[in-house]
Amino acid sequence: MANVIETTYGKISGITKNGCLEYLGIPYAKAPVGDLAFRRPVDHEPWDGILNADKGGRNSIQGFSSRHYISYNGQDCLYMNICVPENAGTGLPVLVWIHGGSYATGGTGRINEESEDMVYDLTRFARETGCILVDFNYRLNLYGFMNLNCFSSRFDMNCGLFDQIKALEFVRRNISAFGGDPDNVTLFGQSSGGACILALMTMPEAEPLFAKAIVQSACVDSFWTPAQSEKLARTYLRMLGYSRKKPEQILSAAPKAVYKANRDLKIQIRAKGEVTCVFSPVIDGKTLKDYPGRIVSASDKPLLIGTVMREADLFTNGLPAIIIPYTPRLFKLGTRWGRNLRRRVSDDLTYKVYKKPVLDIASSYSGNVWLYDYQYKKCRHADEVPVLFGSNTEPGRDAHAPANASLEPDADALGVTLRTVWAQFARTGSPGWGMYKDTRDIHIFK
């Protein structure tokens, strides 16, 4: 059998596609079900024979609806994909993607059980750059980030973050067998995925597992304190009709009830003007010592970090006109009444949630740091992702998203530029322009 790789768990075989060798649906931990549900992930048991890694795995249960475009999902979701350019040799740079989705939605497996289509096609990125590309699923929403530990030690905190660490441990131990350099691993991620990277940069368990970081449009401050997370967990259990004295009841919660409670909790916290993601990680003083935006500055890892010009348009464009005059007060923006109020509200929200926290990190960062701003076309939150991958990435994510933007000639050229810069950073630790602390330069992509 062709393309057989020996991993620490056993042998796997892949497929050839678009000039790459792909290994899809590799289990990197035991299924987090039964006694392992809501606990930190544990190593997978070795398997006999050759595992046929030719199809993407199941994604995490999606956050707010059973009708999400990713329909192939479930609690057994801890799978990764590795994409290797053909005939590229050994010692290759490794880029590991951590997907976003407000800690509640998204994935990297198959979109549905009947299709071979993946949420992310890694082949063009790997083929053009000569880098190995890796992505993986981690537990989301209730299953990955709800803090039930405050009621019972049966439940661990921040399981989604520890899924990510377990995936990076697999990469560290095995990537050389695929031709990668385990000492040259670069994390890149967008939105909550970017915020997770900032968190991982502050966690001792994760620090040795990667060398560099690219953080795209991170919701930098989207973390809960223990008191906040306990209040949310109490409310959540009450929505499900469960007692906080018996949180184990949640182990048998019906999916429909979970979706409804997820939606109801989101509506409730947004109505209070809270911009933090509903299922954000918890700053517990143990797994996370403090808000990553405050303490990541102590890191010396090379960091490329940036935003898109009009992030908040994704959230404000759909608001009814009657709501817009009330949003400045609700979200504590200070936007003055006047013409083009929707535009100014969105820009102020973009600055508050995305741009200012990124500038604060860059201004105090100990290591080498570079900034960028993505300004191609409408450039809402997440609009750079399909352009970056150069494929029909995340089809169906949003009817208004440029799912096929990579097919347009100017977007295609920009995508080549982005992939070249990301790969150069992965190889050398520099994207090719002046460091922020030396030049105050913010590189523009448009």
CA-nearest of 356, 421, 410, 379 to 188 is: 421
Q: Is 153 an annotated catalytic residue?
A: no
- The two three-digit tokens of residue 75, written as one number: 């609690």
Q: Is the separation of the CB atoms in 317 and 349 below 8 Å?
A: no
Q: Which entry of 60, 102, 191, 229 is annotated as an active-site residue?
A: 191
Q: How buried is residue 52: exposed, middle or buried, by Cβ count under 10 Å (0-12/13-18/19+)? A: middle
Six-digit token pair at 283? Answer: 């700053």
Residues 6+ apart with CB under 8 A from 153: none
Given the structure tokens 């929200």, which residue do they identify? 349
Q: Could you tell me the strand order of the sheet in which 4-6 lies?
A: 4-6, 11-13, 50-52
Q: Please, is 253 exposed, middle or buried when counting C-beta atoms within 10 Å of its C-beta (0-12, 13-18, 19+)?
A: middle
Dist CA 105 CA 323 (whole Å): 26
Which burial class, exposed, middle or buried, applies to 171 when counting CB atoms under 10 A from its CB (0-12, 13-18, 19+)? buried
- Dist CA 76 CA 29 (whole Å): 10
The count of C-alpha atoms lying within 13 angstroms of the C-alpha of 435, restricted to the half-sphere facing its C-beta, is 14
Cα–Cα distance, 213 to 197 (Å, whole number): 7
Active site residues: 191
